[in-house]
A and B are shown apart, each in its own frame.
Chain A
């Protein structure tokens, strides 16, 4: 690996970008994610129909000029539902990721910084969360949410799912942040701040947090793809976001019985999940190479 020549004009951001650009797959993925995000953001303009509009005389139409991705079992346009479903899938993913990153970072920071009984308590908590079978408990929680019979409002139906996925996936981040905090706690700049009378709060959030930002960003990226997979799996099984609100996961849920007559209903939504997840994972890979100087790209 060549060490980039340092010149006075290069900001950390430029350095980061120079390294990130070298990762071809990450750059390509960034482009693809940008494109998909734009499509989803402008869904109302790009959609050819109403995502909920049923047309039973038009069911199981193969892909054509009128229906780019064909129609489903209720005659709804798949392209339209993919665009609107993407909004929910990505929003749930982002929310769940945010919950898990905030929880994981806070728990890791407090545990590593304070040590003692706080550390023991928080690490026991982490261990407890690590010893529950994640998918099985997600299903049980989905069962719980389903029985609450929430109104099928846009926000009402997917917010709890995101919260649940997030609260079950912060453990890795917490352990990593804790380890970094433990090492940083003894460093001179932290000691200096303490000697100058800086409060714990100031040390934690102004001095330690910026130094663990890079690994947090990387684990947030991987957390995002994990959350999208979790949501789609859960919705596929019928325990996530409930129909008729489309998500890429629940669009797949009834397709197994339609495989012989309308395979496209199963192919397109899954392809979107795959493309988004692999792109995010490649971006995460590129971020890790670019942010962590010690990590040699493999």
Chain B
């Protein structure tokens, strides 16, 4: 067991190193790169630029620069944003609560909607209920998210009006400018982005829950449970559901890193000041340190969640750690 866990851990570290090297190489290879900030200033002459290049160590080969960069990363120096001049970690952590608020609400709504729908679709397979919701979920999975967001804005923030003649729901931001914080105002701003995210991810979760449930329903132990005369709801919720939820738990834990990355499209469209939007604007403005830091943290979280899923499985299933 310990051996297996150590091996997986070492692999994860190695993966993270390779991923960070690839990402670093990619960002470093951008023509102009860090120097565009200086090159844009017209009063810089070429000799000055060359001196700055040499001073910043930009003339070193990429592996050398990678090692230096990794060293300062490990010491907690992740660099400063080229745009705001603030440390990138500070930038990211200031946006993190907003993203977590949005994404955790989304996750709760999704689970509350998708799990019951998936279960009932599976129990009533081929009923009108099942047909309606599987078709809706299929459409939801084929929907370009950003377009769906635009449609929501057209309908709820442009066309539909509240009793006071203003748009029914705000289509951008986290709060109404110039007003003191109020919970109701925050909720109104959350409705559209959370609905957009929930609809799209419910589609995936619901289909997954349905097929997990269908797999379980045809197992022998369900037939046994029925044969010994258990009530149908007890068969479904005590026997089937508890087994069907396991693959769902895997799906959720593999999706956890995306709570950090947030929903780039949603945050961009609804001007929600989270990590996704921060990354998008950083990429638009060629803010390399910020782009790089976000990529590394995100990749690290993905690798970490994969590792956690492996650990949990290894503790639950002895066959895995022995193979």
Give me the interface of A with B, judged by CB distance under 8 Å: 124, 127-128, 130-133, 135-137, 139-144, 147-148, 225, 229, 232-233, 236-239, 252, 255-256, 259-260, 263, 266-267, 269-271, 273-274, 277-278, 281-282, 285, 298
Contacts and interface: CB of A to CB of B under 8 A. Distances in A.
Interface stretch (B27-35, B61-69, B180-188, B312-320): B27-35
B18 interface: yes
A143 to B, nearest CB: 5
A68 to B, nearest CB: 20
B153 A131 contact: no
A131 B19 contact: yes
A133 B30 contact: no
A1 to B, nearest CB: 13
Contact of A147 (B18, B32, B211, B265): B32
**Secondary structure of the A contact surface, majority rule:** helix
A199 B291 CA distance: 48
How many residues of B sit at the interface, in one of the four size bands?
A: 35 or more
A131 B22 CA distance: 12
Contacts of A298: 125, 211, 214
B154 interface: yes
A136 B141 contact: no
Contacts of A147: 30-32, 286
Interface string B275-311: 0000110011010000100110011001100100000
A135 B150 CA distance: 19
Nearest to A276: B142
Contacts of B37: none
A202 B125 CA distance: 45
Given A128-B15, A144-B29, A263-B158, A270 B23 contact: no
5 contacts: A127-B306, A131-B303, A229-B144, A238-B284, A259-B158
Contacts of B32: 147
A7 B57 CA distance: 74
Contacts of B30: 143-144, 147
Contact of B158 (A131, A238, A239, A260): A260
A278 B26 CA distance: 34
Contacts of A128: 15, 18-19, 22
A266 B211 CA distance: 35
B38 interface: no
A259 B23 contact: no
Contacts of B22: 128, 132
Contacts of B29: 144
Contacts of B150: 252, 255-256, 259, 266, 270
B116 to A, nearest CB: 19
A236 B145 CA distance: 11
B264 interface: yes
